Amino acid sequence: MAVLEVLVYPDARLKQKSRPVEEFSEPLLHFIADLEETMAAGPPSVGIAAPQVGRFERILLVDVSCKPKIKSHGRLIMINPEITDKEGNIVGREGCLSVPDYTGNVARWERIEVTAFDKLGNRHVYSMEGFEARAVQHEMDHLDGLLFLDRVVSRRDGLFRRKVYGKKSSETDSRRS
């Protein structure tokens, strides 16, 4: 296993669209293990997407279980995810491993149904809401070459500079993903 380098804005590769995974094989499992290790090694975060480490395939990892008061599915690996239903709209604060100096307010679907494959190629349908739904939408944006900076509600008053990079105590509302 290895900790991979995380691409940081304004690296142009973050704008690249990722292709679907076609083969569920041993190299995929190795890559997912590396992605998990990379997420664990970095500053506190609730998700990471393959293109953030320069692999342009539709793979993401989300885990919001660090927030004990919200409903979640625990650690989720989603491959070729598709939103199949959506409802509501809510603005919330987001951070990103690839945008280390800022957080921003972004509008997302409040509830979503997502279809995705796990690392063994089994198809699942997830219903999720709130922060977990937000994290998945944020990671899915990475697969299409979008950052939260592209969606922030207002460049003037919807973008916030982080006070201290990597300081854990201030991360509760703006964990990176």
Q: CA angle at residue 141 from 45 to 37, to 5 degrees? A: 35
CA distances from residue 150 to 100, 131, 142, 157, 158 in whole angstroms, order as listed = 15, 19, 11, 14, 12
* Rounded distance between C-alpha atoms, residue 48 and residue 97, angstroms: 8
CB of 94 to Zn ion, least distance (A): 8
Contact 67, 76 (CB under 8 A): no
Q: Which two three-digit tokens encode residue 55?
A: 């692999």
Closer Cβ to Zn ion, 24 or 55, answer by number? 55
Binding residues with Zn ion: total (CB under 5 A): 2
Does 96 contact Zn ion by CB under 5 A? Answer: yes
Q: Which residue has the tokens 């964990």?
A: 175
Name 79's Cβ contacts closer than 8 Å, sequence gap at least 6: 21, 24, 58, 59, 116, 117, 118, 119, 121
Q: Is the preceding peptide bond at 10 cis, omega within 30 degrees of 0?
A: yes
The interface region with Zn ion, picked from 34-42, 53-61, 90-98, 112-120 by CB under 5 A, is 90-98
Give the catalytic positions in this structure: 139
- Closer residue to Zn ion in complex, CB, 21/96: 96
Minimum Å gap between C-beta 113 and Zn ion is 22
Kindly state whether residue 6 participates in binding Zn ion, applying the rule CB under 5 A: no
Q: Binding segment for Zn ion among 17-25, 53-61, 69-77, 95-103 (CB under 5 A)?
A: 95-103
Smallest distance, Zn ion to C-beta of residue 16, A: 14
Nearer to Zn ion, 28 or 147 (CB): 147
CB of 49 to Zn ion, least distance (A): 7
Binding of residue 14 to Zn ion (CB under 5 A): no
**Which region among 30-38, 68-76, 94-102, 122-130 touches Zn ion (by CB under 5 A)?**
94-102
**Which residues would be at the binding site for Zn ion (CB under 5 A)?**
96, 177
